[in-house]
């Protein structure tokens, strides 16, 4: 089943924010970036690698401006002299979680890409039914492990978002309350986008039925909608890249005979795997840039706490 963007984002929505026009220009710039990114994020119809990359790139832009704000002398003096140590500590804890999730996805996408390459190689060599069967099963089993880890991290991000939302941010010091609000909302948007990335990585993989044939077992490992034909499913719902691979592998496995693999179905599976490998690379690039600025934001918060 395709992951609906509305379903995914309904549980991690960041409200549009606004600040008085007398706020610092950098603060207003961050508010504008957050609102624009949230608007485009909500408008995306499908949770695909393209929408995920756009979200990660937009989030990096937010954190670039946030880093500028946190390194302003006025901001550092305001936060270091305030009574908001608990809030800053919560932001520090949250920054660790975002870094952990970002690092997890970076570290997981590499072996996923290797699995895709390995399966592409197995299909290209056509070393018989057993070789293809092994490659598909290994890929599907890796996907299931990835889904389990992703769901665990999504739960941690939801807890983090709840804590941040519960903080009272109103303060007589306008600059302090403005800074606290944009930092909080940048982190909330980060949890939202990372939850969506993890949802993309946790695309469902069905468990096999032990009573069916071995090729049907491989098919079930990657099968999500067996009752709907390829053309019918394509018309009914947009599929992300992982689901497109699942569907192509399922169809290919169903058309294997003693004479070998159906050439047309094999070619489709190879093309879908190639597309997935390209998109994984794009997500990796977007994560690399964002990861650097998440580290810088954490360093800036630590520097403020030490003053």
The model's pTM is 0.78
- What confidence score (pLDDT) does residue 21 get? 45
Label each residue of 273-303 as H, E or C: HHHHHHHHHHHHHHHHHHHHHHHHHHHHHHH
Helix (H) or strand (E) holding 115: helix 85-125
- pLDDT tens-digit series, residues 89-105: 878 888 888 898 999 99
Contact between 21 and 178 (Cβ < 8 Å): no
CA distances from 306 to 77, 139, 142, 282, 287 (A): 11, 47, 43, 37, 29
What is the pLDDT, as a whole number, of residue 20?
47
Structural domain spans, the chain: 23-306
> To 10 degrees, the CA torsion angle through 230, 232, 234, 238?
-130
CA distances from 94 to 31, 102, 185, 207, 219 (A): 20, 12, 12, 34, 40
Summarize pLDDT for 205-237 with one digit per residue, the tens. Answer: 643 333 334 334 444 444 444 444 444 554 445
């Amino acid at each position: 089943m395709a992951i609906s963007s509305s379903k995914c984002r309904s549980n991690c929505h960041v409200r549009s924010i606004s600040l008085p026009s007398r706020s610092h220009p950098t603060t207003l710039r961050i508010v504008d970036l957050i609102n624009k990114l949230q608007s485009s994020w909500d408008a995306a119809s499908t949770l695909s690698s393209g929408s995920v990359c756009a979200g990660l790139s937009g989030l990096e832009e937010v954190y670039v401006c946030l880093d500028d704000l946190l390194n302003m002398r006025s901001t550092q003096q305001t936060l270091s002299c305030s009574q908001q140590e608990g809030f800053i500590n919560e932001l520090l804890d949250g920054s660790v979680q975002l870094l952990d999730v970002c690092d997890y996805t970076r570290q997981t996408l590499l072996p996923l890409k290797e699995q895709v390459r390995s399966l592409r190689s197995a299909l290209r060599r056509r070393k018989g039914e057993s070789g293809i069967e092994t490659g598909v099963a290994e890929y599907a089993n890796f996907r299931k492990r990835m889904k389990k880890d992703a769901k665990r991290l999504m739960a941690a991000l939801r807890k983090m978002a709840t804590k941040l939302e519960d903080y009272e941010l109103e303060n007589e010091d306008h600059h302090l309350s403005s800074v606290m609000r944009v930092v909080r909302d940048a982190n909330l948007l980060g949890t939202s986008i990372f939850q969506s990335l993890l949802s993309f990585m946790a695309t469902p993989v069905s468990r096999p039925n032990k009573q069916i044939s071995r090729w049907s077992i491989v098919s079930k490992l990657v099968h999500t909608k067996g009752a709907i034909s390829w053309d019918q499913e394509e018309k009914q719902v947009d599929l992300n890249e992982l689901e497109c691979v699942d569907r192509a592998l399922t169809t290919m496995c169903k058309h294997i005979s003693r004479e070998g693999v159906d050439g047309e179905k094999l070619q489709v599976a190879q093309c879908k795997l190639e597309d997935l490998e390209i998109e994984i690379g794009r997500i990796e690039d977007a994560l690399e840039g964002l990861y650097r600025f998440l580290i810088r934001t954490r360093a800036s918060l630590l520097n403020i706490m030490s003053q």
